[in-house]
Homo-oligomer: A and B are copies of this chain.
């Protein structure tokens, strides 16, 4: 039995954030767990605290947490002499996983190139536009990581 309680405001915010995540392709319960870990005053929660605060079953908690760890949205740490895991939102590493996601997205060019290669040469305008799009994505896949590096540097300077 956890002694943590959520205020009405927190509960509402969790639902609203959950909807946002859902609209971006994340499962409802996974979205709620992520939101909980950001909204809740405690920066870390155990399996059972999550389960009780959201009022869900162990199986749902288990599979959602495992998926969230697979997708790097959630991390956990352990404490000496304590068998429980303490789960936390991975905002710390979000910048990185954010850029990793971009990289993954840029894979679209592979299939696009394949499609372009097998196209008839009788539609030059269409093919030119496809080539241009491929170039754009390639441009981004170079420029975007640079943007990230610049931000890192700028942020480091600020700290000193």
Bound CA–CA A140/B98 (angstroms): 11
Bound CA–CA A115/B12 (angstroms): 11
Q: Which of B25, B91, B92 contacts A25 (CB 8 A)?
A: B25
The total of chain A residues at the interface (CB under 8 A) is: 45
Distance from A127 Cβ to chain B, minimum over Cβ atoms (Å) = 9
Interface centre among A39, A94, A126 (most CB of B within 10 A): A126
Per-position contact with B for A124-160: 1 when CB-CB < 8 Å, else 0? Answer: 0110011011001001100110010001000100000
B132 A17 Cβ-Cβ under 8 A: no
Contacts of A46 in B (CB 8 A): none
Per-position contact with B for A1-42: 1 when CB-CB < 8 Å, else 0? Answer: 000000001100100110010001100000000010011011
Distance from A19 Cβ to chain B, minimum over Cβ atoms (Å) = 10
